[in-house]
Amino acid sequence: MENLYDYINKYGSYSFEEKEFNDIDNLVFSSLIYLNFLKEDINGKHCLSEIGSNYLKDKTKLNKNELLLKEVINYTRYKNIILSDYVYKRDKDMQFGVVTFKISKKLIYICFEGTDKHISSFKEDANLACFFPVPSQVEAINYVNKHVTLFGPSVIIGGHSKGGNLALVSGMYIKKYKQFKIKKIYSNDGPGLRKCEFESVEYQNIKDKYIHIVPNDSIVGMMLRSDRYYVIKSNKKGIKAHSMINWCIEDDNLVSDKLSNMSKKLSNNLLNWLDHHNDDERKKIVDRVFKILEEELNDNDKNKIKKVIDIILKIKNIDDDTKILIKDLLINIIDIKGDKDEKSN
């Protein structure tokens, strides 16, 4: 089964005039925004090959996204794309990243970064279920309203994980007179919406432009409410299916699949929990759980997760259904089982 690298090698010599932007190109850009080279000053106009070459020149060991960068900077389709208007912010309440890829004179792709590995970033994700808008959603709405112009190029908005949610929300709340400029909104395994926003006029106005892609073993993409998702095949299970590098491609299309029983069960349990807890109750639970996580874990510490689960299961003022749901989420997201399997191989 093919992947992103195969697609780039097969179609990288085609310009976007020769072969139109498609779902796979969306995955390429949503992967590249995670790289640290974007932390550099790119608020001017710099092409991807220039920035990418400078970033890679002193590196000897490359991760998957860096290998992807190494591929794209050598191909006609991507190397001359201009990056601009990069923003990155992180504090105790928010993590936010965005960049604009100028694909041609007629088209730009505004790409939002997903969650990084900091516990505070995961807490903001959890707060998506508690109130609206969270700080990163405010930033996303402001960015799109600033950078989408009436007489400028057409716009595609996208992102992976939380970045997909930010793409959706920014498209919903762009000023009405600019909404026609948006051609597509991609959420690549991103969380959905709370009931209030899901039933809003703003969502109805953009839902036909919204493309929600989730892997067959989706966890993050099943959080909150969504009525439009395109299930595709991943060659990994559990949280590893969340990585776009592992999504299966055939020629220039994502390979369709069905949701796994795990994803269906998780989605049903989450929706049931949301329906039985109001926003204030959710916020109290999130604050309590993340207080424990922040006290017991650092950002890269998986070894104490069993201890954290034990502590959460013993909390007296959280109902049993909530404790079980939190346990299931932590096990799947931290991927304890996956770590064991890798060590035993």
Has residue 267 been placed in a domain?
no
- Domain of 92 in residue numbering reads as 4-260
Cα–Cα distance for residue pair 196/163, rounded to 1 Å: 20
Residue 315, SS3 per DSSP: coil
Dist CA 293 CA 278 (whole Å): 23
Write down which residue in 230, 260, 290 finishes a domain: 260
Same domain assignment for residues 300 and 255: no
Q: Are 80 and 197 part of one and the same domain?
A: yes
Q: Is residue 271 part of a domain?
A: no
Residue 266 included in any domain:
no
Tell me which range, 122-126, 231-235, 272-276, is most confidently predicted by mean pLDDT: 231-235
* Residues 225 and 336 placed together within one structural domain of the fold: no
Q: Which of 216, 234, 260 is the last residue of a domain?
A: 260
> How far is the C-alpha of 29 from the C-alpha of 78, rounded, in Å?
10
Identify whether residues 313 and 241 lie together within a single domain: no
Q: What is the pLDDT of residue 338?
A: 38
Number of domains in the chain: 2
Q: Are residues 254 and 281 in the same domain?
A: no
Same domain? For 17 and 154 the reply is yes
Residue 268 lies in a domain: no
Same domain as 221, residue 340: no
Residue 294 falls inside a structural domain: yes
Confidence of residue 120 (pLDDT cuts 50, 70, 90): low
Give me the chain's average pLDDT, please. 86
In a domain, residue 234? The reply is yes
**CATH number, domain with residue 42:** 3.40.50
pLDDT tens, position by position, 76-116: 999 999 998 888 888 877 889 999 999 999 999 999 998 87
Residues 190 and 315 both lie in one domain: no
Q: Within this chain, do residues 256 and 292 fall inside the same structural domain, yes or no?
A: no
Q: What percent of the chain has pLDDT over 90?
A: 54
Are 212 and 282 contained in the same domain? no
- For a pLDDT cut of 70, what percent of the chain falls above it? 86
Would 239 be classed as within a structural domain?
yes
Q: Report whether pLDDT(342) > 90.
A: no
Is 255 part of a structural domain of the chain? Answer: yes
Comparing CA positions, the residue from 283, 279, 276 lying closest to residue 320 is 276
Q: Which two tokens stand for residue 132?
A: 């609206």
**Can you give the pLDDT at residue 337?**
39
34 with 82, same domain? yes
Alpha carbon distance 267, 269 (integer Å) = 5
Q: What is the pLDDT of residues 142-161, one digit of tens each?
A: 999 999 999 999 999 999 99
Question: What's the confidence (pLDDT) of residue 38?
Answer: 57
Same domain? For 244 and 283 the reply is: no
- Domain's final residue, options 233, 260, 287: 260
